[in-house]
Chains A and B, each alone.
Chain A
Amino acid sequence: MSEWSKALGTFEREGDKASGGNRGLQIEEPLLFEQNKPGRSGVDLPEPPATADRLGGARRAAPIGLPGLSEPQVVRHFTRLSQKNYAIDTGLYPLGSCTMKHNPRLNEKLARLPGFADLHPLQPVSTVQGALELIDTLAHWLKRLTGMPAVAMSPAAGAHGELCGMMCIRAALDARGEQRNRVLVPESAHGTNPATAAECGFTIDPIPANERGRVDLAALKAKLGPDVAAIMLTNPNTCGLFEDEIVAIGEAVHQAGAYFYCDGANFNAIVGRVRPADLGIDCMHINLHKTFSTPHGGGGPGAGPLVLAASLAPFAPLPWIVHDTKGFRLVEQAEGAAAQALGRLKGNHGQMGMFVRALAYMMSHGADGLRQVSGDAVLNANYLLARLAGELTPSFPGPTMHEVLFDDRFLDGTGVTTLDFAKALIDEGYHPMTMYFPLVVHGALLMEPTETESRASLDGFVAAVKRLAQHARSGDAAFFHAAPRLTPRRRLDETAAARKPVLRWRPAPATREAAE
């Protein structure tokens, strides 16, 4: 009998294939491919006239193997799948560094206006003046909020914005005729930073953190030299801390002839209160899906515009949007003022759907509201720190910024790991915090509550975390090792998944033979 059945006192149902193991709202849902009836479709389309094709013999001969389902089956399938997901809409999602804040539905509505959603990117520019105006307005807000004079709008996500920034830096160095190949990256950086620098042909030189969780300025200075192209620094950093020596860092980097790239993943902590331009930053990407609340969508789409100082602006990728007496126009070729543009990073003009949502969010808050956003985000994180400090082990003293970092010292000797603790939190009804990142502390637990949580919501979370911490210290490690218990699936075997990867559905061998 499964542990589930035992726990709930339900009768044994093994062998009952037809009902498939459903329990309450936890419905077992087969794959689409297992619900196939050939010939069935959820879309009614007229059969086209039979005419001779113009495919030159390159016509598909064999069936594809797609399953046939009706509309009610498809709607039920995906509704059931959705019910197996945790989401911001269902609860506190304190995934550090990911900024899981409320996604306003007004933004969804506006992004779907036909005047934005039903525009083809290659329509005559005269027919899309309002769309270009929207992008230009968003660019204006981003420039005002960062104090930077230019912004590249096309990057499709944070890592793409990083790539854009490092390419701009490489292009600027090329223009200066300098071969600099080393990029300094703090040990606490997101993995995208070193991966991005490597994609631009740079070598990565890690800089250690000091005992305060910030960049070690002396170590940084020792590493600077004529072959250093840039530093990639996240601020506030991934420990949730503001780099308080950032101005000195920028000065040292510039003195060495290098550029200062800032990873703006945590811009939500300082928006409306600090302009990156005032910190000596040369370029910074902004995750619209974090700071400006475009939905995360289960892993995108995002958008990662890059704000640029005047020294890097000429290298911004195409297209550029220019406003002159004739209205807005798109510069799509590297010529004229854009002669030094580094080229194109993606198809078309950027993530328009995300631009509409982000601008609607910014306009809703306004300059005063955005200042309140960062204030409340930081207040909520510090409240978690204050309430949990006695129970967990904070890695660094406060104040912290928008997120708070704990390590696993509070679990010493309990036989419970950070992973076990996180899985137990799931049974308490919460999405876990980010685990084992950043790498600069042992067994990291990084919590980011965001400004859209109420005090009552934070108090509930604090109570659950405290209860679990106390239970861990009571010696009941087995309780944690068995978690989670109340989820559609319990702990999944990730090692087996990687050892023999099954990355797609295939018909069972018997069926395949029958079909042949």
Chain B
Amino acid sequence: MRYLPLTETDRRAMLEAIGAESVDALFRDVPRAAYLKSPVDLPRVQGEIEVERALQRMAAKNLSAGAAASFLGAGVYRHHIPASVDHLIQRGEFLTSYTPYQPEIAQGTLQALFEFQTQVALITGMEVANASMYDGASAAAEAVLMANRLTRRHKAILAGDLHPHYREVAQTHARFAGFAIDARDPDPRAGEDLAPLIDSETSCVVVQNPGFFGHVRDFAALAEACHRKGALLVVVVTEAVSLGLVKPPGEMGADIVAAEGQSLGNALNFGGPHVGLFATREKFVRQMPGRLAGETVDVEGRRGWVLTLSTREQHIRREKATSNICTNAGLCALAFTIHLALLGEAGFTRLARINHAKAVELADRLAALSGVSVVNDTFFNEFTLRLPCPAAAVVERLAARGVLAGVPASRLHPGRKDLADLLLVAATELTTEDDMTLLTTTLGEALS
């Protein structure tokens, strides 16, 4: 087998050195009744050619977003990834190393994490960021847990336009960690004022910007209302590119930012792996979950990096840790860092402007269709359409014509009849003139 260097001669010689009769004899501590005498009932060893062929067959059954005109978003966005990103993250020294427990031989990973933390802090407008979480949804749940610890309160208010997956993950944690969630009704108009709901039990209010339905807002007043009542404001961002154009959460007074970083450097991957971003204020850092890279010096006084503040973490603090997280999203964070390094200030802000301009154009063209209206007064690169009929069926019909028209709100909010006609439509720098024409034409035909 191509991945196994030992030969039969090696094995015999090694068994002799060990003083064991056979490899089976090394498993003598396994109860005999549970020790299998032959391989389990699954296919046998295969070469690259066969494996590649089998998986290509499965891949070919899917309609890849790149082979269609795609307008899908709802927390996962298709952006262009510069070629050097994937080249660099496949360098074996990054790909096949692990958590930098030995800093002297992991300065590459540590410096990249320090750069990642700095970039995340900069784009969110926050003071500090950690070295990544699994994804945006789990980061948001961790943000709520952290707010509970900081405020010693146990109720989180979740805005109605928080992504339903984020809401559900927070609810799962709430059920098992024993805290309360006030999840507001889906709010396609983003009209609900959450300030009056904050009381002395409220640990945090979780809002999303741009919201699930696309609205862009300034939460400065809500942040003040939170702080007046001793609660924290958690701002969720599911489209990291928006931070190139939209006022950052830090400037609005956010206490914790939980975001999805997939848009930078990471492919759609059918939903994972992605990369959770987590940023906060310096004074809260000791309650933060996850790994942190920090600057220090070596014995010769040269600048270097180490993992730090690990007394927050499970491998030191065990059941008193701030989180159980260990392995996070290191390589996805690296892809994020490389992509954002390539973009730089000029490229990142321009990328955000392009996304917004494409969405504005698309929204105007779709709004001109008979029976179709745009729900949003504000948006970044995604907005909500109201169709004259249930959106899910329209999306199915258009998919058959090679158009991935968007995400029907009913996919994530099933059972809500009032949302059945809503369709979330996103545009990015990859959306072409032809794509827009195709969507406008096919949607018009489907509705007529």
B447, CB-defined interface residue at 8 Å: no
Q: Which residues of B contact A303 (CB under 8 A)?
A: 273
Cα A371 to Cα B91 with chains together (Å): 30
Q: Which of A56, A87, A505 has the most CB of B within 10 A?
A: A87
Residue of B5, B93, B107, B349 near A454 (CB, 8 A) is B5
Binds B, one of A216-224, A306-314, A492-500: A492-500
Contacts of B353-406 to chain A: CB distance below 8 A: 353-354, 356-361, 363, 376-380, 395-396, 399, 404
Cα A385 to Cα B93 with chains together (Å): 28
Q: Which residues of A contact B196 (CB under 8 A)?
A: none
Residue of A36, A347, A489, A505 near B104 (CB, 8 A) is A489
Whether A455 contacts B18 in the complex (CB less than 8 A), given A87-B93, A87-B95, A501-B309, comes out as: no
Whether A116 contacts B27 in the complex (CB less than 8 A), given A123-B404, A365-B3, comes out as: no
Contact check, A383 vs B76: say whether CB atoms are below 8 A apart: no
Contact check, A53 vs B270: say whether CB atoms are below 8 A apart: no
Contact check, B97 vs A86: say whether CB atoms are below 8 A apart: yes
Cα A330 to Cα B122 with chains together (Å): 38
Q: Which residues of A contact B328 (CB under 8 A)?
A: 157, 299-301
Q: Which residues of B contact A108 (CB under 8 A)?
A: 90, 95
Contact check, B59 vs A130: say whether CB atoms are below 8 A apart: yes
Q: Which residues of A contact B379 (CB under 8 A)?
A: 54
Contact check, A58 vs B163: say whether CB atoms are below 8 A apart: no
Residue of A21, A159, A501 near B327 (CB, 8 A) is A159
Give a binary string over A436-464; 1 marks a CB under 8 Å from any B CB, 0 the rest.
01000000000000011111010000000
Whether A272 contacts B39 in the complex (CB less than 8 A), given A31-B115, A342-B172, comes out as: yes
Give a binary string over B54-67; 1 marks a CB under 8 Å from any A CB, 0 the rest.
11111111111111
Contact check, A55 vs B273: say whether CB atoms are below 8 A apart: no
Give a binary string over B120-145; 1 marks a CB under 8 Å from any A CB, 0 the rest.
01110001110110111110000001
B205 to chain A, nearest CB (A): 17
B156, CB-defined interface residue at 8 Å: no
Contact check, A299 vs B327: say whether CB atoms are below 8 A apart: yes
Contact check, A40 vs B346: say whether CB atoms are below 8 A apart: yes
Contact check, A120 vs B72: say whether CB atoms are below 8 A apart: yes
Q: Which residue of B lies closest to A295 (CB)?
A: B95
A256, CB-defined interface residue at 8 Å: no
Residue of A47, A247, A372 near B1 (CB, 8 A) is A372
Cα A399 to Cα B60 with chains together (Å): 47
Residue of B251, B314, B354, B396 near A126 (CB, 8 A) is B396
Contact check, A489 vs B274: say whether CB atoms are below 8 A apart: no
A497 to chain B, nearest CB (A): 4
Binds B, one of A160-168, A410-418, A467-475, A508-516: A160-168
Q: Which residues of B contact A477 (CB under 8 A)?
A: none
Could you say which interface size class chain B belongs to? 35 or more
Q: Which residue of B lies closest to A243 (CB)?
A: B29
Could you say which interface size class chain A belongs to? 35 or more
Cα A370 to Cα B41 with chains together (Å): 12
Q: Which residues of B contact A376 (CB under 8 A)?
A: 4, 6, 11
Cα A389 to Cα B248 with chains together (Å): 59
Cα A387 to Cα B330 with chains together (Å): 35
A363 to chain B, nearest CB (A): 5
A252, CB-defined interface residue at 8 Å: no
Give a binary string over B20-61; 1 marks a CB under 8 Å from any A CB, 0 the rest.
100101111111011110011111111110111011111111
B246, CB-defined interface residue at 8 Å: yes
A175, CB-defined interface residue at 8 Å: no
Contact check, B270 vs A75: say whether CB atoms are below 8 A apart: no
Cα A65 to Cα B89 with chains together (Å): 24
Contact check, A60 vs B247: say whether CB atoms are below 8 A apart: yes
B434, CB-defined interface residue at 8 Å: no
B155, CB-defined interface residue at 8 Å: no
Q: Which residue of A lies closest to B335 (CB)?
A: A297
A132 to chain B, nearest CB (A): 9
Contact check, A33 vs B13: say whether CB atoms are below 8 A apart: no
Residue of B321, B341, B411 near A77 (CB, 8 A) is B341
Give a binary string over A55-77; 1 marks a CB under 8 Å from any B CB, 0 the rest.
11111111111111101001101
Whether A360 contacts B62 in the complex (CB less than 8 A), given A87-B95, A144-B41, A301-B332, comes out as: no
Cα A501 to Cα B396 with chains together (Å): 52
B169, CB-defined interface residue at 8 Å: yes
Q: Which residues of B contact A56 (CB under 8 A)?
A: 215-218, 377-378
B285, CB-defined interface residue at 8 Å: yes
Contact check, A60 vs B245: say whether CB atoms are below 8 A apart: yes
A178 to chain B, nearest CB (A): 15
Contact check, B378 vs A159: say whether CB atoms are below 8 A apart: no
Contact check, A348 vs B105: say whether CB atoms are below 8 A apart: no
Contact check, B342 vs A156: say whether CB atoms are below 8 A apart: no
Q: Which residues of A contact B10 (CB under 8 A)?
A: 454-455
Q: Which of B13, B78, B268 has the most CB of A within 10 A?
A: B268
Cα A159 to Cα B273 with chains together (Å): 16
Whether A115 contacts B377 in the complex (CB less than 8 A), given A60-B248, A349-B272, comes out as: no
Q: Which residue of B lies closest to A236 (CB)?
A: B29
B414, CB-defined interface residue at 8 Å: yes
Contact check, A242 vs B178: say whether CB atoms are below 8 A apart: no
Contact check, A198 vs B92: say whether CB atoms are below 8 A apart: no
Contact check, B137 vs A346: say whether CB atoms are below 8 A apart: yes
Contacts of B249-263 to chain A: CB distance below 8 A: 251, 260
A-B residue pairs in contact (CB < 8 Å), sample of 28: A41-B346, A42-B84, A42-B342, A55-B246, A58-B246, A74-B341, A84-B107, A117-B267, A121-B270, A123-B399, A141-B42, A156-B138, A156-B329, A159-B325, A191-B315, A191-B317, A344-B172, A347-B75, A347-B169, A348-B76, A351-B273, A378-B23, A382-B26, A399-B26, A431-B105, A502-B295, A502-B296, A503-B292
* 7 A-B pairs closest in CB distance: A348-B271, A115-B59, A297-B331, A89-B92, A130-B61, A121-B271, A299-B330
User: Known pairs A58-B378, A116-B270, A199-B177. 4 more at Cβ < 8 A?
Assistant: A46-B354, A100-B96, A274-B34, A492-B306
